[in-house]
Structure 1
Amino acid sequence: MIKASELQPEAAVYREVVPAGEYFMKEVKAGQTFRILDMQGNQAADTLFYSAADPAERYSAMDTVREQGNVYLTAGSRLLSNEGNVMLEIVADTCGRHDTLGGACATESNTVRYALDKKCMHACRDSWMLAVAEHEEFGMSKRDITHNINFFMNVPITADGGLTFQDGISAPGKYVELKAAMDVIVLISNCPQLNNPCNGYNPTPVEVIIWD
């Protein structure tokens, strides 16, 4: 569902441009709203959410899909944790839908999907592992890498119930906006994938904007 926001970037308390292939890791407080802005279009932002009070509580794709009865996320979707608590709600969305089934690229999947010589190409799971290693204050490790949302990524369900990667449905300036229902750790890998059309074969920056 397309729903525009009334929030203005000039009123934000925090802004950061995240280059392609880099990560973003920051706590967002309950009641704050944050936006992921697709600056140049067709860029996937692979995102994980954790409770800041206890990172063992984290976003659950299974619980979220089951409770909303829809495999896609958009305005109005409430993101549930593995403990059944609402973590965030998507309050604005100018893209229309986002994937939470396709998972994230890794060296292993690069090898299986593309070619052996693609194994060492940078991948979202590498970005997440680097993030948790460089931010010891959150007390997390690679064991905490779990279900993610692929904001802006187009992963249609095929007629036989499978998944396929297709050209993105986002465009320059499209965004998704979420309001935190609890203090959450937001961990984004701005996807570096070059081997499928999720980034238009040309990864580009996104911007994260936060309002009180």
Structure 2
Amino acid sequence: MNPIPANKLLWEEHLPGGNHWSGRLRRGTALRLTDLQGGANVSALFFNAEQPLERYNMPDTLKSQHTAFLTAGYVCQSDMGRVLCSITADSLGWHDTWCGVSDAAMVLAQYGEKRYQQHRNAMHRNGRDNLLIELAKWGLRARDLVPSVNFFSKVVPDAEGALTHLPGHSVKGSYVDLRFEMDTLVVLSSAPHPLDANPVYAPADVQLSAYRADAVAADDACRTQCAQNGRAFTNTERYVASTGVAA
């Protein structure tokens, strides 16, 4: 892992396993997610911070980049053909885009019931409720719950297309860096992946580290990954210029 220079670091926060977080990340800022224990899963949603009706679009992101997963060199595109964030560094090479999040019924069936009244912060949480709690803080609701990116998780298909979660994909210290190309509302859940077959509820802790990113060069790997990415960056830059958001 390349360390973040001290003069670029803005803040750090610890996200316990099974919990949730949200915040605004400004254009020109990067966020590093680090798996602190191994086996983490971070379900992420991205919205235009100024106009949250514009948000991460999984189908457009995948088809425009001719991929089924995300890793360094790829971007998360909005439904307006703009770049919300770019993946500038990644120690794993594969992050799930298909499977969405767990819900209360799934967690109850797999892990049993542990309510806050009896277990406090050791309660069993699920991805859907985690994301809804954070969305509500920004005036958003269930209709805004779109397909997420599941960072640190990998799923593999069998010959018939059935998907299986790959255990051990993310080890302690695995990380991914996201560079934000527009002011973005980021919503995260660290609850287990919906296909995680572990019978024990043991979501891993994650470190969030925000830092000032370098300017996007003309030959930036994310910008030049494919022609559609180049157009998406141009669309983003024109939007930023038209809205007066600082570059």
Give % identity. Answer: 30
Q: TM-score, normalised by structure 1?
A: 0.86
Cα pair 1:43 1:199 within 8 Å, conserved:
no
Alignment partners' CA distance in 2, 1:116 and 1:23: 19
Aligned to 2:181: 181
**Does residue 1:37 correspond to 2:40, yes or no?**
no
1:164-186 deviations in whole A, cap 9, x for unaligned?
Answer: 22203111111000101111011
- Change in Cα spacing, 1:21 to 1:91, as seen in structure 2 (3 Å) is same
Q: Which amino acid aligns with 2:183?
A: D
SS at structure 1 position matched to 2:208: strand
CA RMSD of aligned residues (A): 2.6
C-alpha distance in structure 2 between counterparts of 1:116 and 1:200, whole Å: 6
Specify every segment of 5 or more residues in structure 1 that has no aligned partner in the other structure, as ranges. Answer: none
Q: 2:48 aligns with which of 48, 51, 54?
A: 51
Structure 2 residue runs of 5 or longer lacking an equivalent are 116-123, 213-247
Corresponding residue for 1:8?
Answer: 5
Question: Are 1:23 and 2:20 an aligned pair?
Answer: yes
Q: Does 1:149 align with 2:149?
A: yes
Alignment of 1:1-212 (within 5 A): 5=2, 7-8=4-5, 11-110=8-107, 114=109, 121-133=124-136, 135=137, 138-192=138-192, 196-197=196-197, 201-212=201-212
Shift of 1:12: 1.1
In 1, the alpha carbon distance for the partners of 2:79 and 2:180 equals: 16
Distance 1:190 1:127 in 2: 8
* Contact in 2 for aligned 1:152/1:168 (Cα 8 Å): no
Structure 2 contact 44–151 (Cα < 8 Å) conserved = yes
**Alpha carbons of structure 1 residues 72 and 13: separation in structure 2 relative to 1, 3 Å:** same
Cα deviation for residue 7 of structure 1 reads: 2.9
**SS of the residue 1:164 aligns to:** strand
Answer with 194-203 or 40-49: which moved more. Answer: 194-203
Letter of the 1:186 partner, please give it.
Answer: V
In 1, the alpha carbon distance for the partners of 2:165 and 2:171 equals 17
Please identify, of 78-87 and 196-205, the stretch whose mean Cα deviation from structure 2 is larger.
196-205
- Whether contact under 8 Å (1:166, 1:197) holds in the other structure is no
Q: Deviations over 1:179-212 (max 9, x none)?
A: 0111101110011469834798521210110012
What is the rounded CA distance, in whole Å, between the counterparts of 1:201 and 1:117 in structure 2? 9
What is the one-letter code of the residue matched to 1:70?
A: T
Distance in 2 (CA, whole Å) between partners of 1:96 and 1:199 is: 26
In structure 2, the CA distance between the partners of 1:70 and 1:88, relative to structure 1 (3 Å rule), is same
Which is higher, the Rg of structure 1 or of structure 2? 2
* TM-score, normalization by structure 2: 0.74
The one-letter amino acid paired with 1:143 is R
Assess, with a 3 A threshold, how the Cα gap between structure 1 residues 194 and 69 changes in structure 2: closer, same or farther.
Answer: closer
Shift of 1:115: 5.9
